[in-house]
Amino acid sequence: MEYTISKLAKLANVSARTLRYYDEINLLKPARINSSGYRIYGQNEVDRLQQILFFRELDVDLETIVSIMNDPNFDQKEALHQHYKKLIQKRTRLNKLIETVEKTIAHEKGEIIMQNDEKFEAFKDKLIAENEEKYGKEIREKYGDKVVNDSNAKLQGMSKEDYAALEKLGDEILNLLPKAYETGDPASPLAQQLARKHKEWLMYSWPSYTKEAHAGLAEMYVADERFKAYYDKVVEGGTEFLRDAILAFLKEK
């Protein structure tokens, strides 16, 4: 069966403009152009569009989708398996969030007494799931399943006060990074304050702390493009500076 761009757009509930853009960025090309100059899509393109929309549903950016799906080694069956697994995880998180909202409503009505820790369980689950989705493979390969599972368990059991402190430290690190970077010296007092806060931030979730593990994580920040992009979006070159500040901090300990 073949589809014009308007019919495929209607079938997939996307705009024709979106399909034209996917063509422009070499993500979804039509099977052919007919004699009237219209884009014509076949079954392969329908299946490919479904894959694209699965990725989009999981909040994968278009640049990454293009890179993944245009890779000669892209395995559609394996991709579907991973989509299924991640969507199940997403459903579990949403169910937990819905349950938390329901409990909160009942608490406000005076029907139940909701403990403070219960109010934050869904958010901790979301943080753990996001970390696993973005960095789980690399972290598990580097530190092993036990370390990562213990870290997740520690985060899951975190009190409301500790969770708030963790979030606060994360914000402080991002706010301090550009100021420390301006000194141009990873060993400056401001840079060392940055590294110290980073250690404190890690201690909330790591089951145990070692200088070697901290240094290894700092090196991974620079080596992995996703980590690098996270800190470089605050200030260009910030990832390398944070790494150097941490290494300088560890030498003094």
Sign of CA dihedral 93, 100, 149, 152: positive
| Residue 249 tokens, joined | 């901090």
Amino acid identity, position 63: E
- The Cα-based distances of 50 to 43, 46, 62, 109 in angstroms read 11, 6, 14, 43
> Are 3-69 and 159-253 in the same CATH fold?
no
4, β-bridge pairs? 40
The CATH number corresponding to 159-253 among 1.10.490.50, 3.40.50.300, 3.10.620.30, 1.10.540.10 equals 1.10.490.50
Q: How many CA atoms lie within 13 A of 233 on its CB side?
A: 5
Per-position pLDDT tens, the chain of length 253: 899 999 999 999 999 999 999 999 999 999 999 999 999 999 999 999 999 999 998 888 899 899 999 999 999 888 888 888 878 877 877 777 787 778 778 878 888 777 666 666 666 666 666 667 666 676 777 777 777 777 777 776 777 788 788 889 999 999 999 999 999 999 999 999 999 999 999 988 888 888 998 999 899 899 888 788 889 999 999 999 999 999 999 997 5
The pTM of this model reads 0.49
Instruction: Round to whole Å and give the CA distance between 249 and 167.
Output: 22
Using an 8 Å Cβ cutoff, are 145 and 117 in contact? no
Domain boundaries, the chain: 3-69, 75-158, 159-253
Torsion angle, CA of 84/88/93/98, rounded to 10 degrees? 120
The CATH number given to 3-69 is: 1.10.1660.10
Put the strands of the sheet holding 39-41 in their side by side order. Answer: 3-4, 39-41, 32-33
